[in-house]
Structure 1
Amino acid sequence: MKKRFGLAAAAAAVVALLLSGCTTVPDAGAAASGGGAKGDGKTVGITFSDLSNPVWSELVQEAQTYGKDKGLSVNYVDAHNDAATQVTQIENFIQQGVSAIIICAVDANALKDVTAKAQKAGIKVVGYTQVLTNYDSQYLVDAYKTGYANGEAAGKWIQKNYGDKAVEWGLMDLPRFPEIIERAKGIKDAVAKVAPNAKLVATAPALTSEDGVANAENFLQAHPNIKMIATIGGGGAVGGNEGVKSAGVTDFKTFGLFGIDATQQEIQNIMKGDPEKSTISLGGGKAHGRTLIDITKELLDGKKVEKDQYMPIKAIDSSNAKAYYDEVFGGK
């Protein structure tokens, strides 16, 4: 199966959604009514660990729209970071007789039995970001390499702006997911290698933009000499960018924030000369939504599909942000 890593697949990304970091979606058991779109063919259920993540919210909405174009009726639900809720959601999808289920797991181990049950019922199982035990195909992040690319960009920025001077920095991580732990490890390893003078003085988890705002403010209150913050995702990066400003930082040339996801707001921040200096593109929420639907459609059509597929990794900074923005977001 041809990997779909084209940037053109990711059209205009969300703006206000990124600032709010949340969306309204149906809860467990509501897949048949709210959050649904009628297609002309088979049905697909999507369950995500937490749709307050702006990239994931964008993803499921794009999957719903694009799925309809492909003749699929797509329904999505939010597990609200509760593994038991997600098991119930998958059980509901099985009872509804869906043709395929796309899963971003809260806890992959908790889904071992229910995904086996789905496959036994003839339902295709597609994983996203979190590695499942039972699946037909998965779309994954090379977590360590993604984090390393982020940390490498941050380390180079530190070296360019501070040379051998000691620099304090903070990290927004998300340690409840094994893959994100690896992403954070990659960030730390790269910073340590490229900018050995840098000292990590603060860490806190961040999934949403609200988390990012609070963390940045808290970091700078506790450690006013922090000059760099790295984040494991776009939610923390967007919020962190605003939090740095609200904490009183005014010289954006000497403060750097580094993100992952390359959301529309992140790219705009980089182009404006805001605290965010770089972000790592993994294709984007809209592109991922389309890719997951393409994978699912080919599975349902009986085509041969690669079991493990990986997202692209590309660093976006001031040197290529405008070109990336024009290509991905249409220059709007």
Structure 2
Amino acid sequence: MKKVGTFIAASAAALLAMTGCSTPGATTPAAGNNDSDSYSVGVTFSDLSNPVWAELVQEAQEYGAEEGLEVNYVDAQNSAGQQVTQIENFIQQGVDAIIICAVESNALTDVTLRAQEAGIEVVGYTQVLENYDAQYLVNAYDTGYANGEAAAAWINENYPDEPVEWGLMDLPRFPEIIERANGIKEAIAELAPNAELVATAPALTAEEGVTNAENFLQANPDMKVIATIGGGGAVGANEGVKSAGISDYDSFGLFGIDATEQEIQNIINGEPQKTSISLGGGKAHGRTLIDMTSALLNGEEVEKDQYMPVEVIDESNAQEYYDEVYGG
């Protein structure tokens, strides 16, 4: 029985350096070549500088090696046009499956249909596709609401009788992330009515998170809370809060999503970050995507729409989570 082939780059830096290229050491199959005992899988991600997705591909590489898998990867670097070209190249190469984290889902409608018509399995990740065989998604609003709920609880515990200014790091170019941000805002408005949103700025990477946090606090020195839609922004914001001169970490609350390794370490260490929402983590996602793709290619029944778990990680369970997920 054939197995899914995958090989994915071990770091975001390498991925960015090799944009549009096959992974070193990976074997690019000839179109229609299905005579070997493995499947070929193409992977295209919207932006592999995202630390969660870098973690995902590292785990997928290790898990794939255990399973004897091979892959070609490409990084779209937030270019929808480039991603279309990447998928067209995968079709021409005759891959058996394509895993897609879309830059713009609407831009992929035609090319994903062509992939399916060519007999290629299409697996979506985080962004909803119109044409797909299976996809692994975030329940965006509920995830955001859980983050806002944690922030509101902290506000009510630490500042129950005074106005609290807070900032939001969002990413409005993705519809699903807009829903995540809406969940954050609505939870805080509902559960901590003394809180006022005074600043917003987009953040995907840690670098953006540092800059945003510094700017937020320079413009709003009384700000007590920052919520982010992802782990990259949270990791950066944690450093930005400190570099902005906040030394009493108990007085400031940072709330993230993704539960990356650095986020969890920051929570354990008592730094500004107080909670993060785990969606299973990059490592688990890498394994899930490979398992879903393998099942499709082997003719097994696969639930078409699958959703990531939502779990709040705070000081009460951060060490346990770290030990379980990251092998502390």
Q: Which residue of 2 aligns with 1:24?
A: 14
Residue 254, structure 1, aligned to residue 251, structure 2: yes
Q: Which residue of 2 aligns with 1:75?
A: 72
In the TM superposition, residue 326 of structure 1 has moved relative to its aligned partner by: 1.1
Secondary structure at the aligned position of 2:224 is classed as strand
Q: Which residue of 1 aligns with 2:223?
A: 226
**CA separation of 1:36 and 1:155: change in aligned 2, threshold 3 A:** farther
Which residue, out of 45, 48, 51, partners 1:51? 48
Which residue, out of 310, 313, 328, partners 1:316? 313
Which whole-Å CA distance do the structure 2 matches of 1:104 and 1:218 have between them?
A: 30
In the TM superposition, residue 40 of structure 1 has moved relative to its aligned partner by: 5.5
Secondary structure at the aligned position of 2:13 is classed as coil
- 1:1-332 equivalences in 2 (<5 Å): 22-25=12-15, 26-28=18-20, 30-31=21-22, 33-34=23-24, 36=26, 41-331=38-328
**CA separation of 1:310 and 1:37: change in aligned 2, threshold 3 A:** farther
Q: Deviations over 1:269-324 (max 9, x none)?
A: 00110000000000000110000000000000000000000000000000111111
Which whole-Å CA distance do the structure 1 matches of 2:267 and 2:27 have between them?
A: 35
Which whole-Å CA distance do the structure 2 matches of 1:327 and 1:62 have between them?
A: 15
Q: Deviations over 1:166-219 (max 9, x none)?
A: 000000000000000000000000001110000000000000000000000000
Q: Could you state the TM-score of these two structures normalised by the residue count of structure 2?
A: 0.92
Q: Unmatched 5+ residue regions in structure 1?
A: 1-13
Check whether the contact 1:227–1:254 (CA below 8 A) recurs between aligned residues: yes
Secondary structure at the aligned position of 2:106 is classed as helix
Q: Could you state the TM-score of these two structures normalised by the residue count of structure 1?
A: 0.91
Percentage of matched positions with identical amino acids: 71
**CA RMSD, aligned part only?**
1.5
Structure number with the bigger relative contact order (C-alpha 8 A, sep ≥ 6) is 1
Which whole-Å CA distance do the structure 2 matches of 1:60 and 1:75 have between them?
A: 12
Secondary structure at the aligned position of 2:41 is classed as strand
Check whether the contact 1:228–1:256 (CA below 8 A) recurs between aligned residues: yes
Matched length: 310
Which whole-Å CA distance do the structure 2 matches of 1:132 and 1:36 have between them?
A: 27
